[in-house]
């Protein structure tokens, strides 16, 4: 089996740094996970976005907190979801003084859309198309595209002006032997919404068949892509 990222990148996958290939190259049959721990140098959000970001905390989709030197953890597990789709978790925890914030997502490769679809939050109400490419120095670049909302019989596509475009860059710093990441979300009209940057070290752990922790899985699984 091929990882969803290798499937999306095709021949570009071999252009990635070996350590990036290690983090993005496994699938559910490998029975492993990548656990990263580090520090976000800066986390920032625009004051005007405080209310929608606060609402997002209820579904583990971003948050209205700022800070520097914030402890960070990311858990990437690969498994097959209830619809048989190869899935990778992106469970991110940020430990602010007195509170922990989560930013969760689950990614699949959609054959019907010929790209990776990112379900944001712990109930998969938001489905986002992703554009993925190899970046400088063997890093990986991920940019969000069309966003769709699914809830019961309700489904619609968000107008571009109503959403934010996320740019995620992850690369490996050979000098410091750490992964580095930067994330920025921008609205096409109002500008920057939310961002963070920092570094972490990652370890690969063994995962027994069917032993993916429940806290990294969504509470609800959406079939529509």
Q: Which tens digit of pLDDT belongs to each residue from 109-150?
A: 999 999 999 999 999 999 999 999 999 899 999 999 999 999
What DSSP letter does each residue of 99-155 carry, written as one string?
EEEEEEEEEEEETTTTEEEEEESSS--EEEEEEEEE-GGG-EEEEEEEEEEEETTEE
What are the tokens at 109? 């490769």
CA distance 151 to 221: 11
Whether 196 and 44 have beta carbons less than 8 Å apart is answered as yes
User: Model-level pTM?
Assistant: 0.96
CA distance 18 to 6: 13
Q: Which tens digit of pLDDT belongs to each residue from 172-202?
A: 999 999 999 999 999 999 999 999 999 999 9
Q: What is the pLDDT of residue 46?
A: 98
Q: What is the pLDDT of residue 136?
A: 84
Whether 183 and 45 have beta carbons less than 8 Å apart is answered as no
Q: What is the pLDDT of residue 209?
A: 85
CA distance 2 to 35: 20
Q: Which tens digit of pLDDT belongs to each residue from 60-114?
A: 999 999 999 999 999 999 999 999 999 999 999 999 999 999 999 999 999 999 9
Q: What is the pLDDT of residue 186?
A: 97
């Amino acid at each position: 089996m091929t990882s969803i990222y290798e499937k999306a990148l095709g021949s570009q996958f071999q252009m990635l740094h070996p350590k990036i290939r290690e983090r993005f190259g496994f699938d559910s049959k490998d029975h492993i996970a990548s656990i990263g721990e580090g520090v976000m140098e800066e986390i920032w959000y625009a004051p005007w976005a405080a209310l929608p970001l606060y609402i997002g905390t209820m579904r583990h989709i971003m948050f209205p907190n700022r800070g520097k030197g914030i402890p960070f953890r990311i858990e990437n597990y690969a498994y097959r979801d209830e619809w048989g789709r190869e899935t990778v978790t992106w469970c991110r925890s940020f430990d602010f003084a007195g509170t922990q914030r989560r930013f969760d997502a689950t990614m699949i490769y959609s054959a019907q859309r010929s790209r990776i679809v990112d379900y944001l939050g712990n109930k998969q109400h938001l489905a986002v198309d992703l554009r993925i490419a190899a970046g400088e120095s063997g890093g990986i670049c991920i940019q969000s595209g069309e966003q769709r909302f699914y809830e019961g019989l309700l489904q619609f596509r968000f107008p571009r002006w109503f959403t934010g475009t996320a740019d995620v860059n992850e690369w490996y710093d050979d000098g410091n032997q750490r992964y580095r990441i930067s994330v920025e979300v921008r609205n096409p009209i109002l500008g920057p919404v939310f961002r963070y940057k920092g570094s972490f070290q990652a370890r690969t752990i063994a995962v027994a068949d069917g032993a993916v922790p429940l806290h990294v899985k969504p509470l609800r699984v959406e079939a529509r892509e």
